[in-house]
Amino acid sequence: MHKTLLAAACAVAVLPGFAMAQEAADETNVWSGDAELAYLLKRGNTKSETLSAKGNAERDGIDWRHIAKLEAANAQQRNTSTREDERTAERYFGSYKLDRKLDEANYIFNVITAEKDRFTGYDYEASYALGYGRRMFDNDLHRLDIEAGPGYRWRQVERGLVGPGESRKEEDAILRLGLRYRLALSETAEFNEDLTTEIGEDSTVTRATTSLTTRVTGSLSLRLSHVLRHTTDPAPDAKKTDQEILVGIVYGF
């Protein structure tokens, strides 16, 4: 186990340095991405507030490709019995992925993810994976990447769920499968699907983000997105499936 942790840490620490060195001479290689903000306020029979913020950034160089993601979502709703506002959702997610291109289609990927969700029954969840990816096609209409490789996952069950004042750490090897698809619907609209599955001995965790983005003007767009998270063997008192549907304003750069 310690060798696995050391290997993962070394890969995450060293590979970005190699990538930056290789691309230092490529001044045309710049970051691109977007920042999204969604807010929903309900008043009347139901009183609730939902806030979601997301950031995506990508740098596609000659030999290396970097993809970074950050997400945060919070929601609270008025309890009709106590007349007090209660937190109903609180989630934070981040990932960094580094691809080493072998040619125009094939690449080796490294990816590390971390997630904190108060309502999954875990204090935190993190994983690292290394594997092979292939860009199946890439043209003006659409693009598809598929990936597969081994990895390792760490999870901490919330204190008190396994016993009074007790907590439990879970570690297991995983097989990570990934898919990224982009479809240009028109000059101003596109469809995106980002799907990952971590298959482990304890459980299988699937995360799918589906979105439809329409450019309004300049760098501003509107985005309708659906985020699904499914765990085959969740923590005690947690549901297997969690979903979010949001409409947000997006600023592209």
pLDDT in tens, the chain (253 residues): 434 434 444 444 445 554 554 454 454 568 999 999 998 776 666 677 889 999 999 999 999 999 999 999 998 888 777 777 788 889 999 999 999 999 999 999 999 999 998 888 888 999 999 999 999 999 999 999 999 999 999 998 877 665 555 667 889 999 999 999 999 999 999 999 999 999 999 899 999 999 999 999 999 999 999 999 999 988 777 889 988 888 999 999 9
Specify the fold of 2-252. Porin (2.40.160)
Helix (H, G, I), strand (E, B) or coil at 59: strand
Domain residue spans in the chain? 2-252
Q: Which pLDDT score, from 0 to 100, does residue 46 have?
A: 64
Q: Which pLDDT score, from 0 to 100, does residue 5 have?
A: 39
Q: 43-49, long-range: CB within 8 Å, 24+ apart, which pairs? A: 46/77, 46/78, 47/77, 47/78, 47/85, 48/75, 48/76, 48/77, 48/78, 48/88, 49/75, 49/76, 49/77
> With b meaning 16 or more CB within 10 Å and e meaning fewer, what string describes 202-225?
ebbbbbbbbbbbebeeeeebebeb
> With b meaning 16 or more CB within 10 Å and e meaning fewer, what string describes 11-39?
ebeebeeebeeebeeeeebeeeebbbebe
